[in-house]
Amino acid sequence: MVQEGELQGRGKAMWGSQVRLWFVAVACIALLSACFIISCVVTYHFTYGKTSNRLSELHTYSSLTCFSEGTSMTEKVWGCCPGTWKSFGSSCYLISTELNFWKKSEQNCVGMGAHLVVINTETEQNFIVQQLNKNFSYFLGLSDPQGNNNWQWIDQTSYTENVRFWHENEPNFSAEECATIVFWNHRGWGWNDVFCDSKRHSICEMKKIYL
């Protein structure tokens, strides 16, 4: 016969084994929960972090104008620009009416979370010129800092691989190290090299905010 003490010992052993099993189960659940939470935080950071940063950069604007740009897997995608900016493609554009030097114009754009415009396609240029006044010229984000015909876009876009819309026989003077877009009778809109310390209007460009 099994002695009472032996039964008690077996009961305690079984109870201890169950406790250990419960402890392991609880620990696994806690670990899985922690992994899930960390995964959510990381996903949120990468998915929404950039948008939040962009929105905080643009906190000075009183309003945003948003347009539906198709749908993602689960919801609509909205592309937004500050209320006074023009929307085209993945960018927003502001036509500045202030007259400034090239460097000051770029600083003003940067202060708004943008840069002087970089023109990548003929379609983009055609859109931009529709917003411009034919009586003025406008600084582009294109310059030749050394005056050796090594033109550079402000956002590091490759000039050699990018489109170019210079007026005929332009650029033509090494001391004119900044580019503008200007309308010339019988030629239409095109690019021209000018002195960087001449005062011109300008065009700022920023990436859209996607919500």
Global pTM reads 0.70
- Measured CA to CA, the distance from residue 116 to residue 138 in angstroms comes to 10
Distances (CA, A) of 72 to 45, 83, 111, 211: 19, 24, 32, 11
Q: What is the DSSP letter of 206?
A: E
pLDDT at residue number 8: 55
Query: Is 90 exceeded by the pLDDT of residue 134?
Result: yes
CA end-to-end span of the chain, whole Å? 76
- Measured CA to CA, the distance from residue 85 to residue 76 in angstroms comes to 22
Amino acid at 12: K
pLDDT at residue number 77: 82
pLDDT at residue number 53: 56
pLDDT tens across 150-204, in order? 999 999 999 988 889 999 999 999 999 999 999 999 899 999 999 999 999 999 9
Q: Which CATH number fits domain 64-210: 3.30.2270.10, 2.100.10.30, 3.10.100.10, 3.30.1330.40?
A: 3.10.100.10
pLDDT tens across 31-83, in order? 665 545 544 433 334 444 545 555 555 555 667 888 777 766 666 688 899 98
**Please, are residues 102 and 192 in contact by the beta-carbon 8 Å criterion?**
no
Q: Which of 192, 93, 91 is nearest to 139 (CA)?
A: 192
pLDDT tens across 22-40, in order? 666 666 565 665 545 544 4
Q: Where are the domains of the chain?
A: 1-57, 64-210
What would you report as the CA-atom Rg of the chain, rounded to the nearest whole angstrom? Answer: 31
Element (H, E) at 19: helix 4-57
C-beta neighbour count of 50 within 10 angstroms: 13
